[in-house]
Amino acid sequence: MKHTNGLRVFLLLTVLLGASTLRGQWIIEGFETMLTDSGQVLNGSMGEKDIVLHPKGPFVSHMPVLWDTSFGGYWAAGWAVSRKLDGSVGASDFSKHLYCAKPGHGSEKNAKGKYNGKAYAIGMNGSFILSEARSSSGILGFKIANTTFAYNSMKSGDAFAKKFGGATGADADSFVLKISAFHKGQFLFSKRVILADFRFADNSKDYILDSWAIVDLSWPQNEVSPRDSFVFELMSSDNGQFGMNTPGFFAIDEVIAAHWEGVNSVNVISAKAYPNPADDKVVIETAGRMMGLTVTNALGSVIYESHNDLGRVHEINTSHWLSGVYQVSAALAGGEARTVIVKR
């Protein structure tokens, strides 16, 4: 299934920033400059904790990375940046295609309109994007694609997941990414992006996304509202005893960020969390005294909250938490500290 995205991106920015009430600064940023070598991957294995987007403005966003050192080390949660370019169709191969986008390239194009992007981000189910909390800024969209790993699994099936459509092609399968937006912990809206759809009465219309598509996060009706965090949740029709069988990964590129009028920023810094992944407890450590602390799950629900003076180090009992990814926000005298916790 092919999409023409360049014009849609232009129109989106024109609608959002061209009106007199929405004059401001905007930037479209990919991941080209974060890696230099072909086949290189940034996934936390070298100690990276964070992927920083648009550090020179209009505001800073953070894409947390978590590498688990257990069992020899593995990418456990969050994001990775990849220069692995392989969109080949064939057997589903975790080791070969985990960090590959199905189009076989990034979403950037040269002056002649031909794709020349060589890097992109790979997101895992439950990923977050955290931005500076401002009164009039936020991420307004990005390009999205399937990973080659997920695409080949849905197209042909593998040892863990079914072939979408089943043997006859009549099974009503789907693979959907739900993106939820928040501002200062308050839910704003959610958007569902269909990555594969086999629910048509006419099976000839069934598809698995194999190219870059634009995701428009303006809301509502092409208006904008401040937003400082996004949660990404994948949903599949193919589920088993341990959850989703379809590989829980997707690719994004060319993130659109905008700041449209008066700045009311909060200084956001990183907090430390250990042990991470956590079992029965986790310790949160910040550079300054915590005057409050909130932990939310992937749905935005508050599962831990304190409005006391907690000092610089605070321990939380996580024994009753469900397995998953959690966002931590600590109020400091000079701003806010954030981090992400993974519960085993």
**Does the reported pTM lie above 0.85?**
no
Confidence at residue 132, expressed as pLDDT on a 0 to 100 scale? 75
Per the listing, tokens 């937003």 go with 227
Confidence of residue 257 (pLDDT cuts 50, 70, 90): confident
What is the arithmetic mean of pLDDT over 183-195? 88
Same fold, 6-259 and 268-343: no
Confidence at residue 231, expressed as pLDDT on a 0 to 100 scale? 93
Confidence at residue 324, expressed as pLDDT on a 0 to 100 scale? 75
Q: Are 110 and 208 in contact (CB under 8 A)?
A: no
The string over 24-55, giving b where at least 16 C-beta atoms fall within 10 Å of a residue's C-beta and e elsewhere, is bebebbbbbebbeeeeebbbbeeebbbbebbe
| DSSP state letters, 50-92 | EEEE-TTSS--EEEEEEEE-GGG-EEEEEEEEE-B-----SS-
CA separation (Å) from 276 to 65, 76, 301, 341? 11, 10, 20, 6
Domain 6-259 has CATH 2.60.120.1350: yes
Q: Are 226 and 183 in contact (CB under 8 A)?
A: yes
Task: Decide the pairing of beta strands 61-68 and 128-131.
Answer: antiparallel
Which one has a higher pLDDT value, 271 or 2?
A: 271
Partners of 67 in beta bridges: 75
Q: Are 28 and 254 in contact (CB under 8 A)?
A: yes
- Per the omega criterion (within 30 degrees of 0), is the bond before 277 cis? yes
Please tell me the class of the 268-343 domain.
mainly beta
Rounded to whole angstroms, how far apart are CA atoms 327 and 318? Answer: 13
Confidence of residue 176 (pLDDT cuts 50, 70, 90): very high
Triad 57, 65, 311: Cα angle to 5°: 85
What is the arithmetic mean of pLDDT over 72-87? 95
User: What is the residue extent of each domain of the chain?
Assistant: 6-259, 268-343
| Helix, strand and coil in the chain, % to nearest 5 | 10, 45, 40
The per-type count for the chain, helices as H runs and strands as E runs, is: 3, 25
Confidence at residue 154, expressed as pLDDT on a 0 to 100 scale? 97
Which one has a higher pLDDT value, 268 or 77?
A: 77
Q: Which two tokens stand for residue 261?
A: 């009028």
Task: Decide the pairing of beta strands 324-332 and 311-317.
Answer: unpaired
What is the arithmetic mean of pLDDT over 199-212? 95
Tens of pLDDT, residues 221-255: 445 567 888 999 999 999 998 899 999 999 999 99
Confidence at residue 139, expressed as pLDDT on a 0 to 100 scale? 86
Confidence at residue 227, expressed as pLDDT on a 0 to 100 scale? 84
Sequence-distant (≥ 6) Cβ neighbours of residue 210 within 8 angstroms: 1, 2, 87, 102, 103, 145, 146, 151
Sequence-distant (≥ 6) Cβ neighbours of residue 239 within 8 angstroms: 245
